[in-house]
Structure 1
Amino acid sequence: MPRYEYRCRACGDTFELNRPMEQSAAPARCPHGHDDTVKLLSTVSVAGRASSTGPSAASGGCCGGACGC
């Protein structure tokens, strides 16, 4: 189930809600009971460990050599 992040305009708190995608545009109530909230744009960062012998290391460059850098 997707997690959405909101900020309360009344008290300034930021909070998260797990809700179905079909409810993503529905109003959200702050944990302190305020109704004046706004949904925030959240980004997801996925970090991994690259192999030093992988294709990008062998061909070099920022994009595996495809851009000619």
Structure 2
Amino acid sequence: MPVYDYECARCGAFEAVRRIAERDDPVSCPGCGETAPRVTIGAPSVGSSGGESKESVGGYGMRHVGGCSCC
């Protein structure tokens, strides 16, 4: 299962192993038990020519930009 980053307002950042379908659900902080949201960071596009790109939504809501290395 993948590891995702979460941030507790009290304790700070921590990681949790979750199923993909649960990745955006808040999780309890292991330090204090408070509910913590997932930290999401935008990744730079790979292989972009600087021109107009077509974006599509793949499985699990993941975004794919035309020419990405995974497709």
Question: TM-score when scaled to structure 2?
Answer: 0.48
Larger strand percent: 2
* Higher Cα Rg, which structure: 1
Question: TM-score when scaled to structure 1?
Answer: 0.49
